[in-house]
Structure 1
Amino acid sequence: MMKKIAVFPGSFDPFTRAHEDLVLRALPLFDEIVIAIGVNTSKQGLLPFEVREEAIKAVFKDEAKVQVRRIQGLTVNFCREVGAQFMLRGLRNGIDLEFENAIAQNNLILAPEVESLFLLARSGLGHISSTIVRDILRNGGDVSALVPEAILPFLKTAE
């Protein structure tokens, strides 16, 4: 029987409580989840890739079903590389749905064997985004309610 593998792609700069919640809720659905840290050229980075990778690994240090990898290029190609049949994405609102739908439709053309699955943000977490966390950090605010506790020490390197 083939393992059910999902890739959860994103820039994760930084990884938030909303990201963590999505992965934890998806764990029962898959044999393995690969958190794929990619490059988003339209976003100004806060943390170097190595730090993001280390930080996310710290969050899931006790979860054998979660892997963390850095990727370049098309996510569908990475899905093929790791044998993933699913791409996991989170939706906070209708704007996310429009954006993610367009990506999912194009991904189906590029890789019809990789299905996009969407989980809605849990109530109370839909307002969290990495962009907002970066803005709060850059202005000296407290983000401890917005990111997993294991991420906080890594954010000190960004100050």
Structure 2
Amino acid sequence: MRIVGGIFKAKNLKEFSNPAIRPTADKTRESLFNILGERISGAKFLDLFAGTGGVGIEAISRGAKKVTFVDADKSCLDLVKQNIKAVGAESADHELKLSDGLKFLSETNEKFDYIFIDPPYKTDLGQKALKIIFERELVSGTGAAVFETEFDLNSPYAYLYDERTYGRAKLGFYTYKKPACVFAGTFDPVTKGHLDIIKKAENEFFKVYVAVMVNKDKTPMFPLATRLELLNTLFAGDPQVTVVYSDGLVVDYLKKVGTDYYVRGVRNAEDLEYEKKNGELSKAIYPDIKTIYYKADKSLIKCSSSAFKEAYFSGGNYKKYLPKEIIPVTEKALEELKK
């Protein structure tokens, strides 16, 4: 192990003799700090579950104002102290805390610009740490928490705005979730494409209002009650999603729920152009509106309510457009339409 950048570049770090202890690899550490870039300079940095202290010492090397190392194992902090001395960073502003990581987060009154979380992989300590960090607002508004794991990076507690993979290791970069947004449409019916956009919104927002819009000038395939039933079935047990209906303007509903964020899904350049033109009209009515465009996954580019209807009426495989949770309800609704 060695320092890969900054004033202590190429200085060697001592490692544990125990192979069960897994420090962050040099390549992963280098990528982490390349992503954070010059923002580390002058930042307050927390190395949680510090281990060898390699990440925190890298932060010192790259100009961090202060680094706090936290570990529940005294032998780890002893090694951190040795590594700080080995690279010649004794004069840097740093602090060593012998503490359980979650306990430290629960009790500290200090706020950090960046928090690096690297617990043992086969635990849920990382997600628990994210929960405490963002509930207690321990990260500055312009900062981030970074979580290293080999498992799923999505978190209900924070907005995962970037992720990278280096072999087994995955790095997730998190900031605060926004309070709420509205995703409106006819949902005639709701498809895998809609679900994809809603899941993307859930990553960024604590609450997603899925608004079924009632347009008196249109005759949908499914009645309003059915469309609401399909959505409620799909999101049963999901506290982040609230299904509603509205017969007014979208901007009026945004005001009603107290948010400026309006979510739209786009499948291609034509979709984006169309949505931006509509966004200009909405902004003329409601200047505070903030429209967020989520790009559909490549596998769902051709997935839409229109595609479902085309397949159904032509005798094709319409079920492939539907989330599996709503296929039984949709089948029942289709039988009702035949009567």
TM-score (norm 1): 0.92
**Contact 2:186/2:214 (CA < 8 Å) preserved in 1?**
yes
Residue in 1 that maps onto 2:269: 94
State the secondary structure of the residue aligned to 2:211.
strand
Change (3 A) 1:42 1:147: farther
Q: Distance in 1 between matches of 2:293 and 2:216?
A: 23
Percent identical residues:
29
Residue in 2 that maps onto 1:28: 203
Show CA shifts across 1:115-153 (max 9, x none). 110001111101111011012122332222211012212
Residue in 2 that maps onto 1:106: 281
Q: Distance in 2 between matches of 1:43 and 1:130?
A: 14
State whether structure 2 residue 231 is matched by structure 1 residue 65: no
Amino acid at match of 1:109: A
State whether structure 2 residue 319 is matched by structure 1 residue 144: yes
Tell me how many residue pairs correspond in the alignment.
158
Show CA shifts across 1:10-38 (max 9, x none). 00101000100111121121110000001
Q: Which runs of 5+ in 2 are unaligned?
A: 1-177
Q: Distance in 1 between matches of 2:186 and 2:249?
A: 13
Q: Distance in 2 between matches of 1:47 and 1:109?
A: 32
Residue in 2 that maps onto 1:82: 257
Show CA shifts across 1:48-105 (max 9, x none). 1111111111111121010000111210001101112200000011221121011111
TM-score (norm 2): 0.44
Amino acid at match of 1:126: I
User: Higher strand proportion, which one?
Assistant: 2
**Contact 1:46/1:158 (CA < 8 Å) preserved in 2?**
no
Q: Distance in 2 between matches of 1:39 and 1:86?
A: 20
Q: Distance in 2 between matches of 1:62 and 1:78?
A: 24
Change (3 A) 1:103 1:15: same
**Contact 2:215/2:247 (CA < 8 Å) preserved in 1?**
no
Q: Distance in 2 between matches of 1:48 and 1:146?
A: 19
Q: Which runs of 5+ in 1 are unaligned?
A: none
Correspondent of 2:187 among 4, 7, 12 = 12
Bigger RCO (CA 8 Å, 6+ sep): 1
**Contact 1:92/1:126 (CA < 8 Å) preserved in 2?**
yes
Q: Which runs of 4+ in 1 moved over 6 A?
A: none
Amino acid at match of 2:204: L
Q: Distance in 1 between matches of 2:256 and 2:193?
A: 27
State the secondary structure of the residue aligned to 1:81.
helix
State whether structure 2 residue 309 is matched by structure 1 residue 134: yes
